[in-house]
Amino acid sequence: MSLAEPLPGARSGAAPGQPEWSTPGACCPTGAAAVFARTGGLARFVSDAEGGLKRLDLLVPGVHCAACIQRIEEALPKTPGLRSARVNLSLRRVSATYDPAQAEPEDVVEALSRLGYPARPFDARAMHDAERDGEGRDLLARLAVAGFAAMNVMLLSVAVWSGASDATRDLLHWVSALIALPATVFAGMPFFRSALGVLRHGHVNMDVPISLALILACGVSLFEVAESGAHAYFDAAVSLCFFLLLGRVLDHGARRHARLAAAELGGLQAHSATVVAEGGVRRVVAVEDLRPGDRIEVAAGERAPADGRVIEGASDLDRSMITGESRPEPAAQGSEIHAGVLNLSAPLLIEATATGDDTALAGIARMIQAAEGARTRYVDWALRAARLYVPIVHLAALVTFVGWLLAGIPLSDAVLIAAAVLIITCPCALGLAAPAVHAAAGGRLFRAGIFLKDGAALERLADVDVAVFDKTGTLTAGEPTLVEAPHDPALWSAARALAQVSRHPFSKALAAAAEARGLPAASATALKEVPGCGVEGEIDGRPARLGRADWCGAEAAADAGSAVWLRLGEAPPARFGFEDPLRPDAAATVAALKARGLEVRLISGDAEAAVAKAAAEAGIAHWRAVATPADKVAALEALAAEGRTVLMVGDGINDAPALAAAAASISPASAADVSRAAAGMALAGSRLNPVVVALDVARAAKARVFENFAFAALYNACAVPLAAFGFVTPLIAALAMSGSSIVVTLNALRMRRAGRAAEAAAPPATGGPA
């Protein structure tokens, strides 16, 4: 028996084609089984494996527990032609091998989708660096070597400090040199390379004083040992390497997660499209091969692969990810459709007008790239500290050297003392100050359900003074909820019977509400969905219709888009009203942000009335409706031009450029992939309160980093005079450097407590809309 119970196979309830991001937090996802045409579209993602087999690596965002691993690894090899499957849970990857004589790469995707895991290929070449993580492994290897050398050299140094003398001391020094010199060359290489790189361009960074201190420590010590001197700094050189590499490893870990998230982009767009040629012959082609003028079939539940015009069929379109408009829109012949728009109820035939890079979606992607350019101008705290610090330290060493020369001591002694200044001021604590805090804050945020993409996002969040929210899917849950309904149970039962056959969001909400009230569905016959209108059928011999007001014979009211009507026989139609309500903690979150001194604004692509209502309920005075993605970016740029630092919270593709343009950005769990990639942080779960927690943690992190900088400055203020007057021995240098590194790290660990108040103040989690 396995520990993980076999899970029920295909679960009911998941609508076919339901996008994976619409079910955040659901354990073991239930994607719909999909059939993939054998078009060779996956061929470019296939690589060779041993024994004449082929390998396909897939990104499977749905795997996240032991049961998922077991299901996939047991079921895949049982599929004909497939040989093995290996899940990487950290990276959400599945690597499968198959026999090319018996199977196609599409079989792997199909097998996964039958298990309920939507999978998508990724360009292994593009992902190569991020996935293999050569740099991380390289840093870890160097860290291990530095740690080994530091421990051994420190032991030998302890023997020297305890009073070894003469030949014994020389022996211990020589052994230290034999360990420390190769170790420093190997472990210090990242610093030397980086320092050389910036010096070539006439800049300085923290690696310049680090490299100088390492080289001087080794050089001066070697000179001392050759002269049988007492002062060897080998232990300082290797422990410096160790502590600094530790900071690098922490930093790299955070950056790697950011890169992986960015590389996973592109899942939103359809990968293949069904082109209908003359005479009705259907052909599946890769999206890249679509041309304007192609007639494309878009099945219900699919996203349009290109911009185009509807030439046949009628359906409802969910444009919310592109426009922010929350209500589904009916589409008929002649309607415009954009790439990425979700087709809800019936197949459509469209004629492509723009494909590939010319689509509105690709335009948004370009806006994201342009906006991100602005963000790279940000100078992080550690670099700012380095710019201040480096000239001061080098000046101090120079003054020391010249001073002692003028005082008339031999050149070699003056070099030794100046070197001691550089060694003891080597920015060990400074190098650890920011990465240690970022790593601690990242862990703290992770426990609060916030994924931090990189340390810089946290730094920028600490400085924000305006928060701009999107409405649909951010302040609101993005799903309609029934708010008005007749009381007659018979009507409810009839409505449920009709609603449960449709994939329209209103129907789904209505069916769910009926189920929650325990009202059974009436027995209905001859059910038929009329795209763009509603569902009709027969109940107890009476014709029944559920759908648009005019189709059901009701007065078409102004709120036509937010209600469905039920007409049973000849009775007057009954109204079911829907709203996209605010998330339960939206108003509390807005109030908490205001209490922290932020101005809160709302910018949405939705209609004016809906935005005004949401703004009033959430307590936001500044709002703007019908904003295009470009309007949103322009609004943020205008705020930035006023000298404000903006936090953008949004989820749709239409928000993605704004998320990339804002100083800091957060996207909720339900957000589109592009938006999550563009945002600096992403939330898990359905609550908004983590935004406040993130802000508190960011502000605490800023305080900790600056405390660390202040401590490093104080340490240097004490150490430099001591070193300059020649009082520093290798023992003092070792104690001072290790001590300051430990103090800085411990201070960073205080981050664990940050943000508790905001978490405690949040209202208890509710189950969301019933």
Closest CA to 124 of 54, 207, 57, 30: 57
Q: Which of 57, 294, 318, 470 is catalytic?
A: 470
Window 153-192: contact mask with another protein (x via CB under 8 A): --xx-----------x--xx--x---x-------------
For tokens 């898990």, name the residue. Answer: 684
626: contact with another protein by CB under 8 A:
no
Q: 688, 589 in Cβ contact below 8 A?
A: yes
User: Is 470 a known active-site residue?
Assistant: yes
> CB of residue 605 vs another protein: minimum separation in angstroms?
37
Whole-angstrom distance, CA of residue 648 vs CA of residue 462 = 13
1: contact with another protein by CB under 8 A:
yes
Window 112-151: contact mask with another protein (x via CB under 8 A): ---------------------x---x--xx--xx--x--x
- Closer residue to another protein, CB minimum distance, 256 or 575: 256
Helix (H) or strand (E) holding 93: strand 93-98
- Closer residue to another protein, CB minimum distance, 87 or 754: 87
- Closer residue to another protein, CB minimum distance, 67 or 276: 67
* Selected binder of another protein within 56, 91, 317, 683 (CB under 8 A): 91
Residues 60-79 binding another protein (CB under 8 A) are: 65-66, 69-70
- Closer residue to another protein, CB minimum distance, 64 or 750: 64
Kindly state the DSSP code that residue 409 receives in the 8-state scheme. Answer: -
Q: How many residues bind another protein (CB under 8 A)?
A: 29
Q: Which amino acid is at 10?
A: A
* Selected binder of another protein within 152, 194, 481, 645 (CB under 8 A): 152
Window 412-451: contact mask with another protein (x via CB under 8 A): ----------------------------------------
For tokens 């005079």, name the residue. Answer: 721
Closest CA to 441 of 753, 689, 113: 753
239 phi/psi in degrees, rounded to 5: -70, -30
Whole-angstrom distance, CA of residue 508 vs CA of residue 527 = 16
- Closer residue to another protein, CB minimum distance, 171 or 196: 171
> CB of residue 39 vs another protein: minimum separation in angstroms?
32
> CB of residue 148 vs another protein: minimum separation in angstroms?
4
629 phi/psi in degrees, rounded to 5: -55, -40
2: contact with another protein by CB under 8 A:
yes
484 phi/psi in degrees, rounded to 5: -140, 130
The residues, ordered by sequence, that sit 6+ positions from 108 with a Cβ below 8 Å of its Cβ are: 56, 58, 76, 82, 96, 98, 119
- Closer residue to another protein, CB minimum distance, 5 or 555: 5
> CB of residue 614 vs another protein: minimum separation in angstroms?
38
> CB of residue 236 vs another protein: minimum separation in angstroms?
19
- Closer residue to another protein, CB minimum distance, 88 or 353: 88
What is the number of residues in the chain?
770
Residues 553-572 binding another protein (CB under 8 A) are: none
> CB of residue 73 vs another protein: minimum separation in angstroms?
9
Q: Which amino acid is at 254?
A: A
* Selected binder of another protein within 90, 200, 281, 760 (CB under 8 A): 90
Kindly state the DSSP code that residue 476 receives in the 8-state scheme. Answer: B
Per-residue HEC secondary structure of 333-355 comes to CCCEECCCCEECCCCEEEEEEEC
Helix (H) or strand (E) holding 705: helix 690-724
Helix (H) or strand (E) holding 273: strand 272-276
Q: Which tokens hold the place of 580?
A: 């996209």
- Closer residue to another protein, CB minimum distance, 168 or 412: 168
27: contact with another protein by CB under 8 A:
no
* DSSP secondary structure string for all residues of 212-263: HHHHHHHHHHHHHHHTT-S---HHHHHHHHHHHHHHHHHHHHHHHHHHHHHH
4: contact with another protein by CB under 8 A:
yes
> CB of residue 68 vs another protein: minimum separation in angstroms?
8
CB-side neighbour CA atoms (13 Å) of 245: 30
> CB of residue 300 vs another protein: minimum separation in angstroms?
36
50: contact with another protein by CB under 8 A:
no
- Closer residue to another protein, CB minimum distance, 74 or 608: 74
Give CA separation, 664 vs 109, 202, 640, in Å.
36, 31, 12
Binding positions for another protein, rule: CB under 8 A: 1-4, 65-66, 69-70, 87-91, 133, 137, 140-141, 144-145, 148, 151-152, 155-156, 168, 171-172, 175, 179
Q: What is the set of active-site residues?
A: 470
